[in-house]
Amino acid sequence: MAAVKLYGPLASTATSRALACLLEKQVEYQLIPVDLKKGEQKKPQFLAMQPFGQVPVLQDGALTLFESRAIVRYIAEKYAAQGTIGLLGKSLAERAVIEQWMEVESQTYNPPSSFLVFQLAFAPLWGIPQNQAEIVKNEKKFSKVLDVYEKRLSESKYLGGDEFSIADLSHLPNTEYIVKATGKSELITSRKYVNAWWEDISSRDSWKKIREMSKAGNKK
């Protein structure tokens, strides 16, 4: 049995972010599903690992870690010598730029894109009313964010520089839903450099594997 355990549903953007890093670093793992609809994340045994009742949670030996971006950083650091090399950069300066774009993803890219993903992809499935005014507001906000990304990616192949890093990896889950499940794919595809970046990072073997796992799970 794998020493590393990841708790969370594959449909969760945060879970798939952590899983993508495990796959990039070729870490043997066990994915343990958590049924959010049934409220399994709020049960005592889960709250003992994650007191806020959110996914994912990583267990690696004696370590229990939550928050997907912290998990990504930990995996990339601990398993630096295996799998994809250089996810954290190869110098202090490179690491700083990567961390900068990790923060941009978390604080600027994630809020409007997560809102659109929930409202346009998940709310209809769960019978939750959509807030059209907020959808319009967040689409405009996200579009402005993507204009900044377009400029950055016209100057640099990846967000952190010339090599794929955890900064790019962290954008995979939300962008996948934006392109595939919200009816708003033009936000990405209409921007030359953003779209080229997306086509590049989403064609990586790690993300292809997650897509395959998702399809297999949906057929059950």
The pLDDT tens digits of the residues spanning 87-101 come to: 999 999 999 999 999
Cβ contacts of 63 within 8 Å, gap of 6 or more: none
CA distances in angstroms from 173 to 38, 92, 129, listed in the order given = 23, 27, 23
Q: Phi and psi dihedrals of 35, rounded to 5? A: -85, 105
Written as six digits, the tokens of 186 are: 């033009």
Both tokens of 67, joined, read 């928050």
Which pLDDT tens digit goes with each residue over 3-37?
899 999 999 999 999 999 999 999 999 999 999 98
Peptide bond into 9 cis (omega under 30): no
Domains of the chain, first to last: 4-85 (3.40.30.10), 92-205 (1.20.1050.10)
pTM for this structure? 0.95
